[in-house]
């Protein structure tokens, strides 16, 4: 499981010219699953994301978590995070989980984030989405559950 965490001041996702998810201060998460991912991978990533201290405290030091600042999450499924670009110029997505498996894992992931008392908005799984955000910092962190 790979998650790209982007600290944001404002973000939204549009599907078919309609806003389906929108947040202010918080994280935009780009979330990709591979066929070997399990509940253990989800739990690891949820724990990291909920407690990641990348918001500024009163001294301007990145020392606060999303829960500390009462931020929200915009979670976007993105199978392309598991692209293999080693051969040729056309990426291979063979390591990405099949859609049925990925959707079940994605839904579980978002529910576990909600159980951390974090508001979670999402895009539409499998849809062509337009994601826009103001990356605050910019701060971008990559979490890989296979690289602990």
pLDDT tens figures, 2-40:
999 999 999 999 999 999 999 999 999 999 999 999 999
Task: Note if 6 is an active site residue.
Answer: no
Task: Note if 115 is an active site residue.
Answer: no
Task: Note if 80 is an active site residue.
Answer: yes
DSSP, res 99: H
Q: Between β-strands 26-32 and 72-77, what pairing exists: parallel, antiparallel or unpaired?
A: parallel
Q: Write down the catalytic residue from 78, 101, 122, 124.
A: 78
Residue 10, Cα to own-chain centre: how many angstroms?
A: 15
Instruction: Kindly calculate the radius of gyration of the chain based on its CA atoms and give it in whole angstroms.
Output: 15
Closest to 5 in 3D by CA, of 43, 55, 56, 61 = 55
Q: Enter the tokens of residue 50.
A: 């909920």
Q: Enter the tokens of residue 9.
A: 């001041």
Q: Alpha-carbon distance 100 to 68, whole Å?
A: 34
Whole-model pTM?
Answer: 0.95
Q: Write down the catalytic residue from 80, 85, 109, 124.
A: 80
Q: Enter the tokens of residue 5.
A: 């965490």
Residue 116's domain is classified under what CATH number? 3.50.80.10
Percent of the chain clearing pLDDT 70 (strictly above): 100
pLDDT tens figures, 101-133:
999 999 999 999 999 999 999 999 999 999 999
Residues spanned by the domain of 133: 2-144
Q: Per the structure, how many domains does the chain have?
A: 1
């Amino acid at each position: 499981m790979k998650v790209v965490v982007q600290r944001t001041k404002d973000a939204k996702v549009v599907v078919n010219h309609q806003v389906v998810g929108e947040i202010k201060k918080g994280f935009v998460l780009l979330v990709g699953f591979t066929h070997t991912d399990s509940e253990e991978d989800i739990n690891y990533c949820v724990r990291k994301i909920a407690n990641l201290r990348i918001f500024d405290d009163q001294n301007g030091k990145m020392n606060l978590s999303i829960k500390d600042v009462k931020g929200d999450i915009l979670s976007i499924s993105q199978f392309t995070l598991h692209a293999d670009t080693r051969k040729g110029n056309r990426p291979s997505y063979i390591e990405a989980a099949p859609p049925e498996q990925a959707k079940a894992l994605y839904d579980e992931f978002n529910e576990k984030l909600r159980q951390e008392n974090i508001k979670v908005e999402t895009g539409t799984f499998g849809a062509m989405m337009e994601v826009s955000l103001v990356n605050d910092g910019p701060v971008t962190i990559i979490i890989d559950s296979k690289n602990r």
